[in-house]
């Protein structure tokens, strides 16, 4: 796959994998919608979370990490709620994540992400 061609798939990740992806984004100076340690504190440790690349993002000031995928994230929290977030993921890292979902499940997750959802910021405001 060319580095500027966004994958049209949804991938499932564990909380441990998600925290690793978040750490990688932080180290690379990429976009995350929360502070360091937020996922470890609030993400359901036993849940599955879902990443869907939304668009190619480029940073002229960080050519080493450009382009990358800006992914929509369906995030399951410890309180049982699901919220919308964004996470930038390097293409090689995203490619290494296994394809484990069938087409119907991917479609359901995509529809959920495109529908009305509480965001991480809204959840944080309500639960501060």
pLDDT 10s digits, 12-34? 999 999 999 999 999 888 876 67
β partners of residue 50: 12, 74
Q: What confidence score (pLDDT) does residue 2 get? A: 42
d(CA 31, CA 7): 19
* Cβ-based neighbours of 25, under 8 Å, separated by 6 or more: 31, 32, 87, 88, 89
* Cβ-based neighbours of 28, under 8 Å, separated by 6 or more: 62, 64, 65, 68, 88, 90
pLDDT for 67 beyond 70: yes
d(CA 13, CA 121): 21
In the predicted model, what is the mean pLDDT of the chain?
90
pLDDT for 91 beyond 90: yes
Q: What confidence score (pLDDT) does residue 1 get? A: 42
Q: What confidence score (pLDDT) does residue 66 get? A: 67
């Amino acid at each position: 796959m060319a580095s500027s061609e966004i994958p049209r798939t949804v991938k499932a990740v564990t909380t441990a994998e998600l925290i690793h992806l978040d750490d990688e984004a932080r180290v690379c100076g990429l976009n995350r919608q929360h502070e360091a340690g937020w996922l470890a504190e609030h993400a359901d440790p036993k849940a599955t979370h879902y990443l869907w690349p939304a668009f190619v993002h480029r940073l002229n000031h960080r050519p080493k990490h450009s382009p990358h995928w800006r992914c929509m994230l369906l995030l399951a929290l410890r309180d049982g709620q699901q919220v919308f977030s964004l996470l930038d993921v390097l293409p090689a890292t995203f490619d290494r994540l296994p394809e484990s979902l069938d087409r119907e499940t991917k479609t359901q997750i995509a529809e959920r992400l495109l529908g009305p959802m509480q965001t991480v910021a809204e959840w944080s405001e309500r639960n501060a």
